[in-house]
Amino acid sequence: MAVSPALASRVRNIGRGFAVTAAAGTAAGLAAFGYGLWEKNQFVLRQETLPILPAGHAPFRVLHLSDIHFVPGQDTKAKWLESLASLEPDLVVNTGDNLSHVKAVEPLLKALRPLLEFPGVFVPGSNDYFAPTFKNPASYLRGPSKVKPKSTELDWPRLRSGFGMGGWVDLTNRHQSVVLKRIRFDFSGVDDPHLNRERYAGWPRGTRDQDNNPHLRVAVIHAPYQRVLDHFTQDGADLLLAGHTHGGQLCIPGYGALVSNCDLPTWRAKGLNTWESRGRTTPVNVSGGIGTSRFAPIRIACKPEAVLLTLTAPE
């Protein structure tokens, strides 16, 4: 059967339209990927002020680090981490997922060496124990990621030892009191809830100097699952610090995160907010994180960040 010239022309035009659309889609995808590669190295310092200190106390600065996901050769990230020591924080809090490569421990410790000169506390994330594996990015839309049974183990003991030798306190299912600038900080931390490893140690007991060194209870968490935030809020925490979410990592400008990689609402995936549970409210800072998995090395509308929290007395 013969095809009319008019019909043949229409078919050719439709084909050209599909080709143009496909080419435009490919170009847009490549542009977005290229932008994401650029943004992952656009490190920023988010600064927040929180009036939770006892009356009469001078400001106290907490540097919150999370989700560094270090890979050997990340010189830009290493130099930026080193530069954070110029902030001279009163305390460094590291909420885990420091690694993204089996050979990352030593270069990471070198990059953090200037910050190890300051008091610090830390908890691990799953990517301190296990190397990341490739995942379909779309799988995060279906729910939190899972560690594969045959994941490669990382040298967490060496990392923990390096932090400890620098004076940072390990809060893995532990509590610890530290007096800094006449304030007694009561810390309580948990192992990574993303692995269901959290075990609650409670809070350190009171001491005879409580009146001279008022207590401030700080919970240190990697993955901010609601059950963990509920527990610490109900148990009297004055501040919750967490990471894990990467702030959504691939966000929509003007909208925000599509995922949190846990059961935290996406609008809470990054930032300083409050958490409410059974009539009690506690401030919670969720870091948007510093790195990415080496298998998904892009960020869109979610720049990598460290957070400087300035704790103050109420005015």
Tell me: the pLDDT tens digits for 146-183?
666 668 999 999 999 999 999 999 999 999 999 999 99
Which domains are seen in the chain, by residue range? Answer: 40-311 (3.60.21.10)
Mean pLDDT score, 2-30? 53
Sorting pLDDT into bands at 50, 70 and 90, what band is 9?
A: low
Q: Is the pLDDT of residue 34 over 90?
A: no
Looking at the predicted structure, is the pLDDT value of residue 141 above 60?
A: no
Mean pLDDT of 43-62: 96
Give the pLDDT score at 140.
56
Which among 223, 284, 231, 309 has a CA at the least distance from the CA of 259?
Answer: 223
| pLDDT averaged over every residue in the chain | 90
Between these two residues, 31 and 205, which has the higher pLDDT value? 205
- pLDDT tens profile 74-103: 999 999 999 999 999 999 999 999 999 999
30 compared with 116, residue with greater pLDDT: 116
Q: How confident is the model at residue 41 (pLDDT cuts 50, 70, 90)?
A: very high
Residue 203's pLDDT is 96
**What is the per-residue pLDDT across 239-254, written as a single tens digit (0 to 9) for each?**
999 999 999 999 999 9
The answer on pLDDT for 256 being more than 50 is: yes
91 close to 169: Cβ distance less than 8 angstroms: no
pLDDT at residue 120 greater than cutoff 50: yes
pLDDT digit string, tens, across residues 257-315: 999 999 999 999 999 999 999 999 999 999 999 999 999 899 999 999 999 999 999 98
- What pLDDT does residue 205 have? 86
pLDDT score of 105? 99
Q: Cα–chain-centroid distance for residue 13?
A: 50
Two tokens at 168? 């940072």
